[in-house]
């Protein structure tokens, strides 16, 4: 099997170690492929290795500037590493490019809420909801997102609209 299939299958099975092992062995032949970098980032995400997510996503974001997933992962890792202001600046700098992407706007909402910037958080969350193809799934995600709990406490109905 090729590196994509092995890594993807391993991640689907929750085996980030197998995915990382295979990707590491495939780096020389696959290192310039955007999918390689996405799978590497996803492997570290699944492992909860936030410094590695930040490093890989930063490189991916530089190599593939039109791929929002790298910027989103980079910002999220920075947030979890305690650098929420820096994470927010990363996303704000590219909002014009990726502001029509649900996951990008949702991540902005989470970061704004974490920084107690509730008006901006609500605005972004409303935009993310409009961009979501599945309202019920979206609301389920929102109700379980730690960063957004402050919005529920402040005005539970604002999220249900």
> pLDDT tens for residues 13-55?
999 999 999 999 988 887 789 999 999 999 999 999 999 999 9
Q: Which CATH architecture has domain 1-83?
A: Alpha Horseshoe (1.25)
3-state SS class at 119? helix
104: enclosing H helix or E strand: helix 102-114
pLDDT digits (tens, 9 = 90+) for 93-109: 999 999 999 999 999 99
Distance CA 13, CA 135 (A): 27
User: For the packed helices 102-114 and 118-131, what is the interaxial angle rounded to 10 degrees?
Assistant: 160
Decide if 141 contacts 149 (C-beta within 8 A): no
- Whole-structure pTM value: 0.88
Q: Does the pLDDT at position 56 exceed 50?
A: yes
User: Domain boundaries in the chain?
Assistant: 1-83, 99-161
User: Is the separation of the CB atoms in 109 and 124 below 8 Å?
Assistant: yes
């Amino acid at each position: 099997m090729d590196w994509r299939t092995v890594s993807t299958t391993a991640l689907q099975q929750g085996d980030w170690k197998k995915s990382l092992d295979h990707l590491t062995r495939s780096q020389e032949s696959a290192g310039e492929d955007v999918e390689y970098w996405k799978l590497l980032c996803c492997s570290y995400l699944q492992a909860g290795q936030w410094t590695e997510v930040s490093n890989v996503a930063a490189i991916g974001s530089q190599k593939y500037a039109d791929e929002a997933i790298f910027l989103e992962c980079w910002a999220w890792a920075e947030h979890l590493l305690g650098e929420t202001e820096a994470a927010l600046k990363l996303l704000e700098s590219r909002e014009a490019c990726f502001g029509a992407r649900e996951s990008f706007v949702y991540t902005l909402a989470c970061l704004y809420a974490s920084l107690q910037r509730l008006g901006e958080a609500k605005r972004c969350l409303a935009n993310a909801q409009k961009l979501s193809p599945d309202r019920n799934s979206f609301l389920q995600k929102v109700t379980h997102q730690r960063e957004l709990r402050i919005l529920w406490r402040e005005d539970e109905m604002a999220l249900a609209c």
